[in-house]
Amino acid sequence: MSRLSSNPALRLWSRSLPFQVVVTTLAAAIVILAATGWFLMEQSSRGIMAGKTQASVAEASAVVSNMQRDLSTTDLRTTSASERITRLAREATNRGLAGNQYFVVVETPIQKIGTGGLAPESIPDSIRESVGSGDGLWSTPTLIRFTDSRPDEPGLVVAATLQAPGQAPYPIFFLFSTSQEKATLAVVQQATLATGVFLLAGLTLTVYLIALQVLRPVRAARLAAEQLASGHLEDRMAVVGTEDLAGLARSMNHMAEELDKKITQLQNLSLVQQRFVSDVSHELRTPLTTIRMAAEVLHSHRDEFDAVSRRSTELLSAELDRFEGLLTDLLEISRFDAGAAQLALDYVDLTVLAGEEMAAQQRLAERTHTQLTLDSGGNCVAEVDGRRIRRVLRNLITNAIEHGEGRPITVYVRGDENAVAVAVRDHGVGFTAEEGSQVFNRFWRADPSRGRHVGGTGLGLSISLEDARLHGGRLDAWGSPGAGAQFRLTVPRKAAEELQGSPWPSVPPDAKVVLHA
Amino acid sequence: MSEAPRSAPPRILVVDDDEALAEMLHLVLGSEGFDAKLCHTGDAALEAFREYRPDLVLLDLMLPGRDGVDVCRDIRAESGVSIVMLTAKSDTIDVVDGLSAGADDYVAKPFKTQELIARIKTRLRRHITPEPDVDNLRIGDLVIRVNEHTVRRGENEIILTPLEFDLLLALARRPRQAFTREVLLEEVWGYRHASDTRLVNVHVQRLRSKIEKDPEKPEIIVTVRGVGYRAGEPRTPV
């Protein structure tokens, strides 16, 4: 992955579908165009050269047969063969030069007669050998060189033999210039190349546009999916284009509708739940109020009752408290579950809150001979819901008193730049790490056989955890059997800010001392 | 507003649709030395109020027919009588609705009898006992005549409920001092270790809407960030 991303082209390849399509098309097009171009050039060059060769051979053949006829009818008594040949060669040369058609070279054992200025290597050795081997006409391409300053020209050599009576055959060579044909071929080649380049550019652009056209609905689908993911369930794609694309849009829209329906259903359920909680609240609380007031009337007159009625009245009052606490906690939990809990934010000094809650639990602490100490440092003002934070602290403090075995309890309050933490440290029975993961579970109890002074509902820590989360904060539990426990509440200094860390360690600093001692 | 003679027991109108609870309240209030009258529907509440002229109304928030918030608004429209809501829903929005409609205080069900009686007594005492010490106080461009129980801006008297008057007085008595909401709760509502600052917030808003020229930019009751509220500087009315 890292290697991939180090190369920008590869990264583009792996990320951009249009890029992939364009590159693939381009590669295929280059191969096909190169093959076609080569074939085209080959065919035209072959055709043109074959035509030239044919014409040249026909021309040469005509000249040769003329010369041959002339030579055969020469009366060797009046003229020597070589003279005759020389004259014929001159004539042929002049004719060739007149039409700017060809050069002629006749090789006699004595001399070479022909067009002036021709370099002898213009006639390849291979054709010399061929011409010596028999009758007929031969042709081969060559490069016509000159002994003077004229530039080299591509050309064609046609070779034949002249048969003079009583003499060895004279080879005669016709050199036809093919410059014109080569020039034509060059033009064809240029045209082919230019066509190829235009084709490639056009093809690239077209393919790119097509890729975009195909991708547009895919992109629209992606955007629609992102909209859905971010909760805009009412967004729909436009159903347009070909069957496939319209189908994609239809499927996406169908999915969105189904999601929307499901979520609306769940929301309705949640609303029903909230409504139910609210109704239960009212319906249960009103009779409970009446019962409670009646119980209080009875309770205030309990001295006038006999022993059984008196104790019954006391039990009634005590259990009503418990019942009410349970009802309150249950409703609170239901509110969290329904997502109906709201924060009433205010700037609050958590040191002050902790101090007040400790003072409020002083009576309970005295009953178990527990010493409560407040240890505070730094600026501890945070934007919180004071009622909820009080409830959390009350819970943690009463919990610590209940499980603290009468040993001292310290409440640490610390603030740093981003967060404020309150940690309640006791030195009581503590708990194992396994139990520590369960303390926030609803109705969970460490040791069911243990007696309880405080009469908690078993929901206290669950509610505290929800309260902490509602603030965007956290609640951590640390415990060690025999070494006590620490519950640490951390809330961001400003509501809705993300929590980075905590100003107080999750494991109490004095814990190690206890473990080593 | 006419008040019952001092010697007669304070009158309390109980508006609650739950007959058992209403009867229980009647019993308890009677044994505490109050004169109580019951009303079971919201529709009849205003009529009962006009007829009975109570010193305090105990008002259930959820009533069949005209609900508690509406009844509260109706009564507030014609009287500054103390209104204490009884509510089964202590959720923010319900309580705030009731307080915004003009209720002075609220008691969440299920309440303890002593708690309710304490709330009632606080409200009645504030209502009956005039502040004895200083007579004329200035806050912002307002003049408070403590004995007269009046607030004036220049020549114009501003009508406040007794609770709003107490709240303004508490701030005006110690100008330049910032009050936390908790201190105000104790001074004005008689709460100790109270945590519900919504009472203060809602009533400050109501009070501002009556006394501030621009409640959006308060000059008489100023918010002190991170603390609470304080009185604005005394100024001569413009």
Strand order in the sheet with B150-153: B136-139, B142-145, B150-153, B156-158
Residues of B in contact with A335 (CB under 8 A): 91
What distance in Å separates the CA atoms of residue A332 and residue A340, rounded to the nearest whole number?
Answer: 10
Name which of B24, B109, B114 is nearest A294 (Cβ-Cβ). B24
Question: Exposed, middle or buried, A444 (CB in 10 Å: 0-12/13-18/19+)?
Answer: middle
pLDDT at B220 over 60: yes
pLDDT at A441 over 60: yes
Chain segment A56-95, per-residue pLDDT in tens: 888 888 888 888 888 777 766 677 777 777 788 788 788 7
In this prediction, residues A240-265 reach a mean pLDDT of 81
Please indicate whether, in this complex, the C-beta atoms of B62 and A281 are within 8 angstroms of each other.
no
Residue boundaries of the structural domains of chain A: 1-232, 284-330, 346-516
Tokens linked to A78: 């009046």
Angstrom CA distances, A178 to A133, A155, B194, stand at: 26, 5, 114
Chain segment A155-199, per-residue pLDDT in tens: 888 888 877 777 777 788 888 888 888 888 889 889 989 988 999
pLDDT at A355 over 90: yes
In this prediction, residues A10-37 reach a mean pLDDT of 85
Q: Which residue on chain B is closest to A317 by alpha carbon? A: B112
Indicate which of A283, A289, A336, A345 best probes the interface with B, i.e. most B CBs within 10 Å of its own CB. A289
pLDDT of residue A92: 79
Most confident of A441-455, A483-497, B113-127: A483-497
pLDDT at A263 over 90: no
Question: Nearest CA to CA, how far is B170 from chain A (Å)?
Answer: 22
Average pLDDT of every residue of chain B: 84
Whether the Cβ atoms of residue B43 and residue B17 lie closer than 8 Å to each other: no
Whether the Cβ atoms of residue B44 and residue B68 lie closer than 8 Å to each other: no
Name which of A289, A324, A346 is nearest B197 (Cβ-Cβ). A346
H/E segment holding residue A104:
strand A102-107
Chain segment A359-370, per-residue pLDDT in tens: 999 998 999 899
Among candidate residues A450, A452, A407, the one with its CA nearest the CA of residue A425: A407
**Between these two residues, A407 and A113, which has the higher pLDDT value?**
A407
Please indicate whether, in this complex, the C-beta atoms of B89 and A293 are within 8 angstroms of each other.
no
**What SS3 class is residue A157?**
strand
Among candidate residues B107, B75, B113, B71, the one with its CA nearest the CA of residue B88: B107
What distance in Å separates the CA atoms of residue A304 and residue A302, rounded to the nearest whole number?
Answer: 5
pLDDT at A371 over 90: yes
Residues of A in contact with B113 (CB under 8 A): 292-293, 296-297
H/E segment holding residue A106:
strand A102-107
pLDDT of residue B1: 44
pLDDT band at B4 (very low <50, low <70, confident <90, very high): very low
In this prediction, residues A329-343 reach a mean pLDDT of 79
Please indicate whether, in this complex, the C-beta atoms of B113 and A347 are within 8 angstroms of each other.
no
* Secondary structure in 3-state letters for A284-344: HHHHHHHHHHHHHHHHHCHHHCCHHHHHHHHHHHHHHHHHHHHHHHHHHHHHHHCCCCCCC
Name which of B91, B113, B196 is nearest A293 (Cβ-Cβ). B113
Return the CATH architecture of domain B136-231.
Orthogonal Bundle (1.10)
Whether the Cβ atoms of residue A424 and residue A388 lie closer than 8 Å to each other: no
The structure's pTM equals 0.55
Whether the Cβ atoms of residue A338 and residue A369 lie closer than 8 Å to each other: no
pLDDT band at B92 (very low <50, low <70, confident <90, very high): low
DSSP chain B: -----TTSPPEEEEE-S-HHHHHHHHHHHHHTT-EEEEE--STTHHHHHHHH--SEEEEES--SSS-HHHHHHHHHHH---EEEEEES--SHHHHHHHHHTT-SEEEESS--HHHHHHHHHHHHHHHHSPP-S-SEEEETTEEEETTTTEEEETTEEE---HHHHHHHHHHHHSTTPPEEHHHHIIIII--SS---THHHHHHHHHHHHHH-SSTTS-SSEEEETTTEEEEPPP----
pLDDT at A255 over 60: yes
Please indicate whether, in this complex, the C-beta atoms of A287 and B195 are within 8 angstroms of each other.
no
Residue boundaries of the structural domains of chain B: 11-128, 136-231
Name which of B88, B112, B198 is nearest A285 (Cβ-Cβ). B88
Average pLDDT of every residue of chain A: 83
* A→B interface, C-beta within 8 Å: 278, 281-282, 285-290, 292-294, 296-297, 324, 335, 340, 342, 344, 346-347, 356, 360, 381, 386-387, 390
pLDDT of residue A2: 43
Residues of B in contact with A360 (CB under 8 A): 193
Lowest mean pLDDT among A19-33, A66-80, A325-339, B205-219: A66-80
Among candidate residues A399, A393, A401, the one with its CA nearest the CA of residue A376: A393
Among candidate residues A361, A341, A347, the one with its CA nearest the CA of residue A462: A341
Return the CATH architecture of domain A1-232.
2-Layer Sandwich (3.30)
Residue with tokens 């992109």: A219
Residue with tokens 């100023």: B222
pLDDT of residue B193: 61
The residues, ordered by sequence, that sit 6+ positions from B233 with a Cβ below 8 Å of its Cβ are B140, B175
**Share of residues in chain A with pLDDT > 90 (%):** 23
Please indicate whether, in this complex, the C-beta atoms of A346 and B195 are within 8 angstroms of each other.
no
Q: Are strands B156-158 and B142-145 parallel, antiparallel or unpaired?
A: unpaired
Please indicate whether, in this complex, the C-beta atoms of B109 and A356 are within 8 angstroms of each other.
no
pLDDT of residue A516: 42
According to DSSP H, which parts of A444-506 are helical?
Answer: 460-470
Question: Nearest CA to CA, how far is B100 from chain A (Å)?
Answer: 16
Question: Nearest CA to CA, how far is B111 from chain A (Å)?
Answer: 6
Most confident of A247-261, A441-455, B163-177: B163-177
pLDDT of residue B127: 45
Q: Which residue on chain B is closest to A357 by alpha carbon? A: B193
In this prediction, residues B147-170 reach a mean pLDDT of 87
pLDDT of residue A517: 38
pLDDT band at A6 (very low <50, low <70, confident <90, very high): low
Fold of B11-128: Rossmann fold (3.40.50)
Tokens linked to A90: 């001159």
What class does CATH assign to A346-516?
alpha beta
Q: Does B198 touch chain A (CB under 8 A)?
A: yes
Lowest mean pLDDT among A60-69, A225-234, A344-353, B200-209: A225-234
pLDDT band at A489 (very low <50, low <70, confident <90, very high): very high
Count Cα neighbours of B169 within 13 Å in the Cβ-side half-sphere.
26
Question: Nearest CA to CA, how far is B31 from chain A (Å)?
Answer: 10
pLDDT of residue B91: 65
What distance in Å separates the CA atoms of residue A44 and residue A390, rounded to the nearest whole number?
Answer: 97
pLDDT of residue A3: 46
pLDDT of residue A515: 47
Residues of B in contact with A281 (CB under 8 A): 88-89
Name which of A289, A335, A386 is nearest B111 (Cβ-Cβ). A289
pLDDT at A334 over 70: yes
pLDDT at A330 over 60: yes
Residues of A in contact with B25 (CB under 8 A): 293
Residue B138's DSSP bridge partners are B143
**What SS3 class is residue A452?**
coil
Distance spanning both ends of chain A, measured CA to CA = 52
pLDDT of residue A304: 92
Please indicate whether, in this complex, the C-beta atoms of A285 and B110 are within 8 angstroms of each other.
yes
Contacts 24+ apart (CB under 8 A), B115-119: B116/B28, B117/B28, B117/B32, B118/B190, B119/B84, B119/B190
What distance in Å separates the CA atoms of residue B73 and residue B212, rounded to the nearest whole number?
Answer: 21
**Share of residues in chain A with pLDDT > 70 (%):** 92
Among candidate residues A69, A89, A67, A71, the one with its CA nearest the CA of residue A79: A71
pLDDT at B147 over 70: yes
Please indicate whether, in this complex, the C-beta atoms of B111 and A292 are within 8 angstroms of each other.
yes
Q: Between residues 100 and 139 of chain B, which touch chain A (CB distance below 8 Å)?
A: 109-114
Residues of A in contact with B88 (CB under 8 A): 281-282, 285-286
Please indicate whether, in this complex, the C-beta atoms of B113 and A282 are within 8 angstroms of each other.
no
pLDDT of residue B132: 58
Please indicate whether, in this complex, the C-beta atoms of B193 and A360 are within 8 angstroms of each other.
yes
- Rounded to the nearest angstrom, the gap between the alpha carbon of residue B183 and the centroid of all alpha carbons in its chain is 16
- Rounded to the nearest angstrom, the gap between the alpha carbon of residue B142 and the centroid of all alpha carbons in its chain is 21
Residues of B in contact with A292 (CB under 8 A): 110-113
In this prediction, residues B204-228 reach a mean pLDDT of 88
Whether the Cβ atoms of residue A353 and residue A393 lie closer than 8 Å to each other: yes
